[in-house]
Amino acid sequence: MAELLHSPSSSSSSSSLQTLNDEDDVKNNHQLSLLALLLALFRKSFWGSSNSTVAEQPMDLSGMEIGWPTDVRHVAHVTFDRFNGFLGLPVEFEHQLSRRAPSASATVFGVSTESMQLSYDSRGNIIPVIIMLMQQYLYSQGGLQAEGIFRINADNNQEEHLRNQLNSGVVPDGIDVHCLAGLIKAWFRELPTGILDPLSPDQVMQCQSEDDCTALCRLLPPTETALLDWAVNLMADVAQHKHVNKMNSHNIAMVFAPNMTQMADPLTALMYAVQVMNFLKTLISKTLRERQDLVIESSRASPQESLSDENCDQVPGLNPHAQQNDDENEEIEHEFINEDDHLGYHH
């Protein structure tokens, strides 16, 4: 009877081989399971995105129709003319936008004059219509005779309402003249660049005489030159009524000066405003003198049409009685300012 003998070494190697084969099978099974899981996830995400795209597609297409780039119909050609407003504006848009809008922008404050409707003032300056409208209303409502005009601040609530109306080119009735005067200053203050910013502070500080100031004005660009001339004549109109409104050339120049330039540093701006005030005061005094000389020359050319006392009273600078009391008026006006000096720099 034959007997089979198994050596320990052969038995051990067989079991090791079997173990390795089992490990390979387990590893392959794990890899297959992982691959199947990834494939299932991919299918799920793919079908999910496809279904959501299909579900959303009718919603997107229902509200939008895309045509060819060449399929364009010219409805209207609208341009903004700086002297005539909007040209070619369709009738259906007139209730939303006036043909004679004061500005191509939504507001008349804080925007360049390049986008505003313009007109000529009595001296031939090209000026934005909106500030001429404010000036006209100010004069018609007796603003030149109001004490402290351009110095006294109005109610903020009324100012906001007036701003909104001015953006539409309308000055409503019943507006306080001090509110209107404050917005004239605000219009200059909120310009993208101050009308004297083209000049360096050194140039302004070196002005020591009337001739220096006149020569410096010639260095300004045309737009700034026109706005400065308009503002100086406005201030001269106010100063001509100083016996009523207590705002002589010094006082009106003081309250306008901070609005003519823009500086980031408040201390530097305050110091520079003093130089600007002197610059404006010189120009105002020059304007008043030229007005007086012009009237005197006109009266000499036609003596039979010389001014009566009543007409002289309407122009305080030409009233002989007002001339006799000039020194006394100056003292009163300076006292008026000294009562509350800090208000002179209120904007």
Q: How many CB atoms lie within 10 A of CB 305?
A: 9
Tell me the pLDDT band of 187, cut-offs 50, 70 and 90. very high
Mean pLDDT of 126-146: 95
CA angle 75, 76, 81 (to 5 degrees): 165
pLDDT tens string 201-238: 999 999 999 999 999 999 999 999 999 999 999 999 99
pLDDT at 115 (0 to 100): 85
Backbone angles phi, psi at 22, to 5 degrees: -65, -40
pLDDT at 299 (0 to 100): 85
The 3-state DSSP class for residue 248 equals coil
Q: What is the CATH number of domain 193-347?
A: 1.10.555
Q: Where are the domains of the chain?
A: 193-347
CA distances from 227 to 87, 133, 167, 278 (A): 26, 14, 19, 18
pTM of the model: 0.63
> Which pairs with CB-CB distance under 8 Å and at least 24 residues apart come from 12-20?
none
Q: Is the pLDDT of residue 148 over 90?
A: yes
Nearest to 273 by CA among 247, 253, 248: 253
pLDDT at 40 (0 to 100): 65
pLDDT tens string 66-107: 666 666 666 665 555 555 555 555 555 555 545 445 555 678
Q: Is the pLDDT of residue 124 over 80?
A: yes
More confident residue, 198 or 328: 198
Considering 43-57, 158-172, 217-231, 252-266, the range whose residues carry the highest mean pLDDT is 217-231
Displacement of CA 100 from its chain's centroid (Å): 20
Lowest mean pLDDT across 133-142, 151-160, 210-219: 151-160
Give yes or no for a contact between 299 and 307, defined as CB atoms under 8 angstroms apart.
Answer: yes
pLDDT at 68 (0 to 100): 67
Interaxial angle between packed helices 222-239 and 266-301, expressed in degrees from 0 to 180 and rounded to the nearest 10: 70
